Amino acid sequence: MTGPQIIVLATPVFLLLIGVEFLVGLKRGKNTYRLNDALNSIGLGIMSQLIGVFSKLMNIGIYTLVFAHLALWQLPSNALWVWLFGLLFYDLCYYWRHRFGHTVALFWAAHVVHHQSEDYNLSTALRQTSTGWVGDWIFYLPMALLGVPPLVFGTVALIDLLYQYWVHTQQIGRLGWFDRWFCAPSNHRVHHAVNDKYLDRNYGGILIVWDRLFRSFEEEDDAEPCIYGTRGPLRSWNPVWANLQNYADMAKDAWRAKRWSDKLRVWFMHPGWRPADVAARWPKPAFDIRQVQLYNPPLSRAAMWTAGILFVLLLNATTAFLWFSHTLTLTQQLAAALGIIAGLWLVGAICTPRSAAMKTEGVAA
């Protein structure tokens, strides 16, 4: 069974849990869902899986080549300890990949997609980047060099990813001793917050021990509720722009910078860093958490129904594509993927009234 097929089988469980979380929120008077945001988040997850059909071959291919030709030794894939070691090793590599994803602009440009939602719920977990293939593979090469077989690598990567789904919720509180060892909802809420106290903390995938060990841990404080999103808000339901916004901003700053060293530094400094000459001529307002406004353009009932029905059709098309993608030619794969992505763009357009779209275009300019 292929990776995309496993995701297809897991999707009904994901959607069922989203429904349960929504109902629990309504019963508690603490609903954390908006239709436009949820469709955008799940749509970005769909888009990520579509792109993954093409990019995962490259990522696994590079890993396999390094394992085959550069590994110091090759561990057996039929030994339980190798699988346990592989999962622990992967989680450590994930920690550093995740940490660099918040502290290096180029990697943040890919990872930012996951943080753009100003809501925090299980649909946020499905909100994944389509450009992670740009550099994520680099952080897992130590596993190949130390002989973790590709089969083990691919499996534990999927386990690590699936584990992180359930921690994206506001409906589960503190879990006592579990919070001290594992990534749990309380810990991960901190990670998604833009508050000064919480910014760039709690990177762990399965284990939160890495954050305690490498001094990046912060406990959730009931006196300071988490504010979700990013400090450079997307303010759009366009899934293509969600993936390209930060790359476009950096390219613009690099083009405008006078010094060649600054043109390069734009991509590798901390996210938000700008050359002094560029910041002086094209200033951006400083982030002020007191002025954070939820992006929530009004949505008519007709638009809600149209977007929802179209989205269900696209979800079914994606299910069929992922299940049978390995039987299609490259041309057929590309045509199907582009068609679905165009449909997701249309869903975003339906969720964006013309007045809101014009304001977003003005901000982008």
Q: What is the pLDDT of residues 140-194, one digit of tens each?
A: 999 999 999 999 999 999 999 999 999 999 999 999 999 999 999 999 999 999 9
Reduce the DSSP state of residue 172 to 3 states and report it: coil
Task: Tell me how far apart the alpha carbons of residues 318 and 74 are, in angstroms, rounded to a whole number.
Answer: 37
Q: What is the DSSP string of 39-104?
A: HHHHHHHHHHHHHHHHHHHHHHHHHHHHHHHH-SS---TT-HHHHHHHHHHHHHHHHHHHHHHHHS
In-domain check, residue 162? yes
Cβ neighbours of residue 80 closer than 8 Å, sequence gap 6 or more = none
> Does a structural domain hold residue 130?
yes
Q: Could you tell me if residue 308 is inside a domain?
A: no
Collapse the DSSP code of 296 into the 3-class scheme (helix H, G, I; strand E, B; otherwise coil) and give the result.
coil
340 within domain boundaries = no
Assigned domain for 356 exists: no
**Domain of 173?**
3-213
Give the model confidence (pLDDT) of 207-219 as tens digits: 999 999 999 999 9
d(CA 193, CA 231): 10
Is 24 domain-assigned? yes
The pTM of the full predicted model, rounded to 2 decimals, is 0.92
When divided into structural domains, the chain yields a total of 1
Instruction: Write the pLDDT tens digit of every residue in 281-318.
Output: 999 999 999 889 999 999 999 999 999 999 999 999 99
Q: How many residues does the chain have?
A: 365
Is 263 inside a domain boundary? no
Chain centroid offset of residue 346 CA:
21
- Residue 170 in contact with residue 30, Cβ under 8 Å? yes
DSSP H helices, the chain, are 3-28, 35-70, 80-103, 105-111, 122-125, 141-145, 150-163, 177-181, 185-191, 209-213, 239-256, 260-268, 276-281, 301-324, 330-350, 354-364
**364 assigned to some structural domain:** no
The distance from CA 160 to its chain's CA centroid, rounded to whole angstroms, is 14
